């Protein structure tokens, strides 16, 4: 398919530098967060050097190692790559130091908090603000010969479709993603490649590989991305190196049900429902992957008619 670019699209599809900030002396979190935010508005993502201390990285890897070695929990993602989900329960260090990291929390609080109002309730005006929520936690191990991904945006999960823009406006993104290196990541062993600036493109435009750059990280470094940034895991062309990363995503508050059906109803009450109502209550996945449990359709827990095979 041939896409004809108008002048605005041509102006947006240009090389943009990938920016970074160093968190080594992390006492001034507010300054680190402010720099990361400014960089992300321009490039769509920001490298954060030394986000985690070496001892923290070592502890997380040690915590995850039993799952990396267990084929029932560390699952095939694509040829040469395995993955595990639900990391907060697998490593308390990961939960506090990565999910709860002050820099990460500060960045997503800025980009994903949303205020509604002022709106009228009778003759009074009100407003309310919603804070971000955790969406997913996943670790990927890419071995030698592991295949690369196609360039994509993560916010396809939430049906976020945007036109082109010459500058960033809050509200454009509904999710952010944190990539943390648990091993050295290089171009050769499959470092994530990104297209800086693509978060501002019209979403109808295809990605261009010659604009992509590899995000090379040392253990403990991180990359924070807006959901609208084109990116992809790359192929591991080495013969003896694994690439191990952990990924956390956060989303806006309104991307959820009003009534929490998962805690409101018991397992027995859900099992008594026909399949179409189980799915309507939320015990299914929204295409392509929303609501999965270990990459599987959650409906299989309550209904034997639902496949328990991996979705991807």
Domains and CATH numbers, the chain: 7-113+128-251 (2.60.120.620), 261-301 (no CATH)
Of 170, 92, 172, 171, the residue nearest 137 (C-alpha): 92
Tokens coding 259: 């009534």
Tens of pLDDT, residues 74-104: 455 566 778 889 999 999 999 999 999 999 9
The pLDDT value given to residue 183:
98
* pTM for the model: 0.90
Is 157 exposed, middle or buried, given 0-12, 13-18 or 19+ CB atoms closer than 10 A?
buried
What is the three-class DSSP state of 92?
helix
- pLDDT for residue 173 is more than 70: yes
- pLDDT for residue 289 is more than 60: yes
- Least confident interval from 11-25, 112-126, 222-236: 11-25
Check if the beta carbon of residue 175 is closer than 8 Å to that of residue 284. Answer: no
What is the three-class DSSP state of 123?
coil
Task: Work out the pLDDT band at 279, boundaries 50, 70, 90.
Answer: confident
What is the average pLDDT score of the chain?
Answer: 90
Q: In what order do the strands lie in the sheet with 133-142?
A: 19-22, 45-49, 222-226, 175-181, 243-251, 133-142, 81-85, 75-78
Q: What is the mean pLDDT of residues 148-160?
A: 94
Check if the beta carbon of residue 207 is closer than 8 Å to that of residue 230. Answer: yes
Q: In what order do the strands lie in the sheet with 193-194?
A: 213-214, 193-194, 231-232
Share of the chain above pLDDT 70, in %: 92
The pLDDT value given to residue 79:
66
Is 124 exposed, middle or buried, given 0-12, 13-18 or 19+ CB atoms closer than 10 A?
exposed
Q: What is the mean pLDDT of residues 66-75?
A: 62
Tokens coding 50: 């030394």
The pLDDT value given to residue 26:
72
- DSSP 8-state assignment for residue 309: S
- Least confident interval from 60-69, 163-172, 212-221, 280-289: 280-289
> How far is 113 from 170, CA to CA, in rounded Å?
9
Check if the beta carbon of residue 285 is closer than 8 Å to that of residue 311. Answer: yes
Q: Name which residue leads in pLDDT, 289 or 187.
A: 187
């Amino acid at each position: 398919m041939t896409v004809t670019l108008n002048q605005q699209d041509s102006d947006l599809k240009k090389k943009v530098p990938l920016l970074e900030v160093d968190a080594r002396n992390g006492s001034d979190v507010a300054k680190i967060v402010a720099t990361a935010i400014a960089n992300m508005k321009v490039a769509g993502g920001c490298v954060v050097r030394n986000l985690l201390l070496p001892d923290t990285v070592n502890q997380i890897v040690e915590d995850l190692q039993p799952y990396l070695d267990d084929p029932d929990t560390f699952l095939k993602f694509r040829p040469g790559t395995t993955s595990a989900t639900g990391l907060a329960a697998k490593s308390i260090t990961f939960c506090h130091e990565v999910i709860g990291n002050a820099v990460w929390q500060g960045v997503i609080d800025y980009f994903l908090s949303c205020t509604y109002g002022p709106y009228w309730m009778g003759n009074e005006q009100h407003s309310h603000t919603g804070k971000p929520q955790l969406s997913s936690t996943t670790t990927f191990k890419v071995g030698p010969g592991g295949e690369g991904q196609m360039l994509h945006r993560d916010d396809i999960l939430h049906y976020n479709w945007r036109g082109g823009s010459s500058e960033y406006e809050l509200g454009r993104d509904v999710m952010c993603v944190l990539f943390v290196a648990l091993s050295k990541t290089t171009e050769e062993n499959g470092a994530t490649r990104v297209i800086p600036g693509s978060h501002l493109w019209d979403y109808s435009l295809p990605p261009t590989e010659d604009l992509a750059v590899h995000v090379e990280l040392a253990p403990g470094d991180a990359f924070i991305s807006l959901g609208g940034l084109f990116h992809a895991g790359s192929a591991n062309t080495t013969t003896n190196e694994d690439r191990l990363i952990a990924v956390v995503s956060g989303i806006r508050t309104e991307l959820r049900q009003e009534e929490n059906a998962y805690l409101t109803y018991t397992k027995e009450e859900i099992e008594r429902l026909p399949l179409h109502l189980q799915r309507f209550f939320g015990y299914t996945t929204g295409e392509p992957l929303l609501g999965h449990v270990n990459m599987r359709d959650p409906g299989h827990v309550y209904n034997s008619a639902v496949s328990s095979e991996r979705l991807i």
